[in-house]
């Protein structure tokens, strides 16, 4: 039994050695993060209930496959107004220079009734404005 334990432990240690020495360089490093304009916004329901959840989809066009969605800057200006700016990451890897459009989403769960106004950054000082009535 003791010999069996030593063999099992040796096999486990050898397996961990090979796993830990695996140089997996199949990833790209994020070089920077920058704003990306939101081209369009899709809101399924313009009326919803308090405490319910709705996904708001935004669409942006990226100039190459070395770029993609990084996150949102979602600011509560007051109880009923929101401004949303999207950010993209830029990697250092080899990529194709073809444009593509990708969707991202925000899950909106209002805590109070009222008419919520969303402004989505569309480049420079332009905004796409959408409203949702919460009952």
Is 4's pLDDT higher than 50? no
pLDDT at 10: 53
The full set of domains in the chain, from first to last, is 26-134 (2.60.40)
Q: Is the dihedral of CA 115, 35, 125, 78 positive or negative?
A: positive
Could you give the 3-state DSSP secondary structure of residue 8? helix
Is 11's pLDDT higher than 70? no
pTM of structure = 0.78
Contacts of 7 (CB under 8 A, 6+ apart): none
Output 47 or 19, whichever has higher pLDDT.
47
pLDDT at 14: 47
pLDDT at 116: 98
pLDDT tens per residue, range 44-72: 999 999 999 999 999 999 999 999 999 99
The answer to whether the beta carbons of residues 117 and 81 sit under 8 Å apart is yes
User: How many contiguous H segments (helices) and E segments (strands) does the chain have?
Assistant: 1, 9
The answer to whether the beta carbons of residues 56 and 118 sit under 8 Å apart is yes
pLDDT at 5: 44
Output 13 or 45, whichever has higher pLDDT.
45
pLDDT at 58: 98
pLDDT tens per residue, range 62-115: 999 999 999 999 999 999 999 999 999 999 888 878 999 999 999 999 999 999
pLDDT at 24: 53
């Amino acid at each position: 039994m003791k010999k069996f334990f030593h063999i099992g432990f040796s096999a486990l240690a050898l397996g961990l050695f090979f796993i830990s020495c695996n140089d997996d360089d199949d990833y790209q490093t994020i070089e920077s993060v920058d704003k990306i304009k939101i081209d369009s916004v899709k809101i399924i329901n313009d009326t919803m209930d308090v405490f319910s959840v709705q996904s708001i989809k935004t669409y942006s066009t990226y100039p190459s496959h070395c770029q993609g969605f990084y996150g949102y800057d979602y600011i509560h200006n007051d109880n009923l107004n929101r401004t949303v700016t999207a950010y993209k990451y830029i990697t250092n890897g080899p990529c194709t220079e073809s444009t593509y459009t990708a969707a991202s989403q925000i899950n909106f769960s209002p805590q109070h009734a009222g008419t919520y106004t969303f402004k989505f950054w569309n480049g420079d000082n332009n905004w796409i404005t959408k409203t949702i009535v919460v009952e």
